[in-house]
Structure formats: C-alpha cells, structure tokens
Amino acid sequence: MSPAAHEVLDAHARERLAGLATGPVDLPAELPDRLAAEDALGLFDSQLASRHLDLAARWLRARGRGYYTIGSSGHEGNAAVAAALRADDPALLHYRSGAFYLERARRAAAAGLEVGGGPIDGVRDVALGLVAATDEPISGGRHKVFGRHELAVIPQTSTIASHLPRTVGVAFAIGRAARLGVDCPWPADAVAVCSQGDASVNHSTATGAINAAVQVGYRGLPMPLLIVCEDNGLGISVPTPEGWVAHAFADRPGLRYFAADGSDLAQTWTVARDAAAFVREQRRPAFLHLRTVRLMGHAGTDLESAYRRPAQLQADLARDPLLGTARLLVGAGVLSPAQALERYEATGERVRATLLEATDRPELATAEAVMAPLAPRRPDAVAAEVARMAERVAAGQGAAADQDTPSLTLAQTINRCLRDVLTAYGTALVFGEDVGAKGGVYGVTKGLAKKFGTARVFDTLLDEQTILGLALGAGVSGLLPIPEVQYLAYLHNAEDQLRGEAATLPFFSAGQYRNPMVVRVAGYGYQKGFGGHFHNDNAVGVLRDVPGLVIASPARPDDAAAMLRSCVAAARVDGSVSVFLEPIALYHSTDLYAGGDGAWTCPWVGPAGWAEGHVPIGRGRVHGEGSDLTIVTFGNGVPMGLRVAKRLAADGVGVRVLDLRWLAPLPVEDLVAAATATGRVLVVDETRATGGVSEGVFAALVDAGYSGRLARVAAKDSFIPLGDAANLVLVSEGEVDVAARALLAR
C-alpha cells in the first residue's frame, strides 16, 4: 500500500532537515537586513506549526476523527506577511493562510495577550476548528475558518473571492470613519488585508472588487488595502498559465505591485514589509504577489497524480518553504541542522497532543445551538432603540421634528425617514447608483446629499457587488450602511454578498462579528408595461431562503416609515441584515378607491408618535374586521385587496385584508389569527407561483393546524415582458375578485 500524501511530505521534510549538515555549501551566511534571529525563529515556529496541523488533520481524517483537510502546506511563507502587519490591521484570510494566522497569534501571545486566563494559542484555535469543537474561539464549531476577534481576523468562508468586496468596504470605512469623526474598531492608520489564490483573481467578484479599489484610489480617496495573492499555480486541478498573475497585475495603473518568492522567507519578509509600509503611508491599494507551491493536493480527497506529472510534484517539494527557512537559519548560524530537525519534531509532538486533546471537546448537539447566532430577535430592545432614535431626531431638528406636513406618498415618506435616520446617527451612510445629486431614479433620496453632505450620501460604481461589499465592510467597521440597489433584478448578480457573506458572518463568528445593514431595493411589477423584466422583477425566492435575513415589504406610506425605523433599529441592536423591498408602482400613488381621494397618502408622524406607531419585525397589519373572508397579501396586492374588499362589502360580504408587511420572518401569529377569524383564506401573491411567498404562507398555516379553506392567486412562473403583455403574467384585480367570490361560493 502506497504511503499517504501527508506521510510522504513528513518523511521528505525529516530527510532533508537531517541532511542539512551534508547539504549544499551555498547556504546563506547571514540573515538579511531588518530580520533579527528572534524574528526568524518565531516565523519558523509558525511555519512548522501550520505544517504539522495540516499533517495531523490528514491523519485525523483517515481515522474518522476530523472534518477538514484543506491545508496551507507550501504557503507557509505568508507568516512573513503577518509579521509585516500590525495585530490591529483587519485581516480577511483565505483557507491557505494558516501560517499567517498562527504568526499573528504568536506575536499577540508574545505581547502579553491573554484569553481565558492564559496566553492566546493559535495552534489550539485551529485544532478546535478541525474537529468542530464548540469552544473553538470564532465559529464555535460551525465551520473551520481562520478568525479571532481579539486578533482582528474576520472569518471568511470558502466561497471563491467573495470576501474581496467586503475587504474593499473595510478599507473604505477606515478612511470614511476618520473623515466623519466617528468610532471605528480599526485605527485610523490601519491597513485592511485579504488573501486569495491565483485561480480566484480570475473570478468576477475579485476583478470587480479590485477595480473598485483602484477607482476609489484614482479619485483620491483613502483605500488602505493590501491584496495578497498566494499563487501556487493551480485552481484545484486546473493550472494557472505561467506568468498570468504578473501579466494581469504587475503594470496595472493605480495598483502598486509587489512580488516575492514565498519559499524564500527573507525575500518575503522584506517585500511584505515594503508593501505594508506603502499602503499604510500612502493610503492606496497594493497587490502582493506571493509565489508559492501547493503540497499534498487541494484536500484529503484530491489525488494529484491523476492530473500532475511526478516531475511537477518533485519540483514543488524542492521549493518547500519550511526547508527554505531551515536552510536560511542553519546557514546564518542561528540553528544547527540537529536543532532544526529537533524543532520540527518537537512542534509535531505539540501539535498532535493539542489536536488529540481537541478531539475530546464537545461538538454542537442541538439545532438551536447551531442556529443561535443567525438572527437574534430582541423586539423590546428594537422598540427601545426606536424611542432613542426619536429623542435624537427631536433634539437634532428641534420644533421642525414634529412640524405638521401635508400627506405624503410612499416615496416621500421613505425620504423623510432617511432624513431622520441620518440626523439620529452620525454613522449612517446612504449610497448606491444615482442616489446623490440625482436623488435616485424615482426621487426617493432627493435632497439628502445636499443636506448631509457627500461623505454620508454618495454615488457608487455601477456594480451591485461593490455596493453590497462596501456595506459589508462598513457594517463590520462600526458604520450603519443603508445601500440602495436600483432594481430587484439588479440584485441577483450580487446576491451571494448577502447569502455567502452578510448572512454567514454572524454564523461563522458565533455572533462576535456582525455586518448590520438595511439594503433598499426598488422592485415588483405593475408599472403599466414600462421597463420589462429588469425594471419589473418579482422574484423574491432567492432572498426568502437566506437564513436570518429580514425582508420588509411596505405597501402604505405610514407603514414604510415605521418599518424602515425598525430595520435600522434592529441593525443597531441585533446586527440585523434587512432587505427593504419598495414597490415602484406605489412610490407616487395618491389614491385608492377613486381619483383624487388621497387615500394612499398619509400625514407624517413626528418623533412623538413613533412609539405608538412602532411596527415590530414580523408583525402584520389587518385592515377591516370582516368575518367571511381573509385576503392575505403584501405590496401591490394590498390596494388591490382593499378595493376588492370594498366591492364585496357592497354585496354584504365581510372581508378583512392582512398585509403581511414582512416576507421574512412571516407574521405567523397574525396570519393564523386572521385566517381562523374567517375560515376562508385567499392569498394574493404578486411574486411567482413557484418559489413565491404564497407557498410559505400555505406551509405556515398547515403547520399551525389551520383547517379552513385555502386558495391563492399568484403571478405566472414567467419573467415580466414589455408593454401590455405584462398584464398577462401578473395578478390582476379582476382575478382577485373572481377568486374571492369562488372561494366564498365553495
């Protein structure tokens, strides 16, 4: 039986370390400038620990006692990158940056940082993650990630390059917080650093993020971002063309390029320090190209011999960074060959002992424990924050806060509410495409930039990934981002920033990191045929299945203001991520039953009335008290349902209309009560029949034991076309009327 990959790598390292005494005579005679012997030994220790964690992870997995085998072997040169940065520089690391994490932890321990009554131990942190132990310090056993709040290492998932837009946002937020004079968890001169592989730089998420960073720097705004590309020449089995990374980034204007051989610790130490110094001093982005090798394959299940030649594998072994560092230390007289081997073996024993101890630690045992960090709901705290918001607005605006105003439309109410939020919180930012001088495509943000300045209300690139990444970075950096995505259809190309980044951050950090935000999105149909699909998108299924995501869907102006305040308050106290879906067709509506009745406008309620009008997340609104039929709907379905209810009332039928208001979490308590009151429920769903809201409503009623009659009217499973053909696939008021009468007749 052939030895396993980890056994081959271990044996090779031992053999080469033992042979250093009789090895080549051209060993380095001294350490390079600025690299002291103590620093070199510390870096070597971090490299050794990272390697042995990889070896032990493979050993454990072979015995069914570990859960993760993607390792950092061959990338250990990134320890020098950690040494070039400060412990308070926010770091977002990919899954091969193990030595970086261990070096940052080692330096923190040497500086006296203690956790739980003892020095911080990076090896134990990683070991606990490998076995999914609940006392793993960042995710609590939910995922193997590099992260620790005390080390300013923000955990990242394995999604390729998805963390780059957030890192751009963090770098932007460092400068913006300083400009606004508001608190930020990172120092004003901090550098935001992210690492990724060579295959990832080709991903659209990476190219978009890097472009955004360069453009921000081009405009003269601070962008203290260090992008580290750990280039091992492979994306699992697909080779990166030789020289491609340098070709793509070495001469890019606005992005300073640094390159080092990651197998050469001395060179990496020097170049990484130069790169970090450039970013810190110039506040401009830089790209550190670290050439590495990948040892032992992509993961434990990866058989490299299936796609790589033996000569290629041997060439990588010859560039093992551990052996390169050992040669440096032996040649400079810092260690003898015997001491280098002894250090290797002693580190292995310590790592294995730590890992075996970790296997006895408890794992997550209940669904409730797994889900605990996802979406904490503290309605009393949210209500209290709304009250504090009212106090701040009243203090900031004086008598004008409660000044009588004429009735407002939905768009005007949202605008007024955004003014209040910006007044109440100096950390609040409103941004997106066209939100600044233009005031939004539909005028919803009109006047905000003029009143609050372009540091707080500003236009962004025409890129939704960048908009959401900016919000992610701002939120985790102490700001209160309220980004706008111009149309619902435009959100889908960037939806992973909500699913894979925003929603997962509290999950993979056990709530230690959160990225509060309220994402405003104009959506739905009913624009009289104008715009076609991309301006009339009614697909919300992709949002409703994101764990923990709040989806608000106001229909009436008075609800919109109260719900927006709730979303902002929940972001403040719970770190909630909300999507605030605004029906475009109702933005400027004024009438409900007849032209000129003004029934779809509402007077502005000043801060004194916010407590009474507070709308908790997940609570619906019932219109009417009829006992014959309940119409359950939201968005554009609300005015349709109310008009149908009025016609039915003329025929002696009592109807109540439940406006769900929240699509996630659904107002189940209000839904069940309204359904039970009549025993007949008609769901009017302007989203699609498949994957729409009505399916969730039906399931909630069945789960609650509702046994009355059910029917629904939903939009067709189709994109929305241009012109009058749109009416063929959207729900019509006539369909609602017919369906209601049919249900009553059953």
Contact predicate 681/654, CB 8 Å: no
Task: Give 76-95 pLDDT, tens digit per residue.
Answer: 999 999 999 999 999 999 99
Contact predicate 218/284, CB 8 Å: no
SS3 225: strand
Respond yes or no: is residue 535 known to be catalytic: yes
Selection from 628, 623, 633 nearest residue 712 by Cα: 633
Task: Give 329-379 pLDDT, tens digit per residue.
Answer: 998 899 999 999 999 999 999 999 999 999 999 999 999 999 999 988 999
Dist CA 421 CA 574 (whole Å): 17
Dist CA 126 CA 279 (whole Å): 29
pLDDT confidence of 402, banded at 50, 70, 90? Answer: low
Provide the pLDDT for residue 531: 81
Strand spans (E) along 159-283: 192-197, 225-231, 234-235, 238-239, 256-261
118-119 vs 114-115, strand pairing mode? antiparallel
Provide the pLDDT for residue 564: 98
pLDDT confidence of 160, banded at 50, 70, 90? Answer: confident
Task: Give 163-205 pLDDT, tens digit per residue.
Answer: 999 999 999 999 999 999 999 999 999 999 999 999 999 999 9
Provide the pLDDT for residue 351: 96
Dist CA 307 CA 661 (whole Å): 54
Structural domains in the chain, CATH included, are 5-18+36-360 (3.40.50.970), 379-398+405-609 (3.40.50.970), 621-745 (3.40.50.920)
pLDDT confidence of 398, banded at 50, 70, 90? Answer: low
Contact predicate 198/231, CB 8 Å: yes
Dist CA 588 CA 454 (whole Å): 26
Dist CA 378 CA 573 (whole Å): 8
Q: Which amino acid is at 716?
A: K
Task: Give 658-716 pLDDT, tens digit per residue.
Answer: 999 999 999 999 999 999 999 999 999 999 999 999 999 999 999 999 999 999 999 99
3-state DSSP of 379-433? HHHHHHHHHHHHHHHHHHHHHHHHCCCCCECHHHHHHHHHHHHHHHCCCEEEEEC
Provide the pLDDT for residue 30: 73
Provide the pLDDT for residue 99: 97
SS3 662: strand
Least confident of 336-345, 534-543, 558-567: 534-543
DSSP string, 81-146: HHHHS-TTS-EE--TT-HHHHHHHHHHHHHTT-EETTEE--HHHHHHHHHTTBTT-TTTTTS----
Burial 293-322 (b: 16+ CB within 10 A, else e): bbbbbbebebebeeebeeeebeebbebbbb
Longest dimension (CA), the chain: 102
Contact predicate 239/245, CB 8 Å: no
Task: Give 28-66 pLDDT, tens digit per residue.
Answer: 767 877 788 999 999 999 999 999 999 999 988 888 888
Q: In the predicted model, is pLDDT for residue 23 greater than 60?
A: no
Task: Give 108-158 pLDDT, tens digit per residue.
Answer: 999 998 888 889 999 999 999 999 999 999 999 999 999 999 999 999 876
Provide the pLDDT for residue 29: 66
Q: Which residues contact 135 (CB under 8 A, 6 or more apart)?
A: 128, 141, 361, 362
Contact predicate 556/408, CB 8 Å: no
User: How buried is 711 (Cβ within 10 angstroms: 0-12 exposed, 13-18 middle, 19+ buried)?
Assistant: middle
The one catalytic residue among 149, 535, 588, 614: 535
Residue carrying the six token digits 């102006």: 557
Selection from 435, 394, 398 nearest residue 414 by Cα: 435
Task: Give 435-465 pLDDT, tens digit per residue.
Answer: 999 999 999 999 999 999 999 999 999 999 9
Provide the pLDDT for residue 683: 98
Contact predicate 113/176, CB 8 Å: no
DSSP string, 143-166: -----BGGGTB----SSTTTTHHH
Strand spans (E) along 498-628: 517-523, 550-552, 577-583, 621-623
Cis-peptide into 665, omega within 30 deg: yes
Residue carrying the six token digits 């310090």: 137
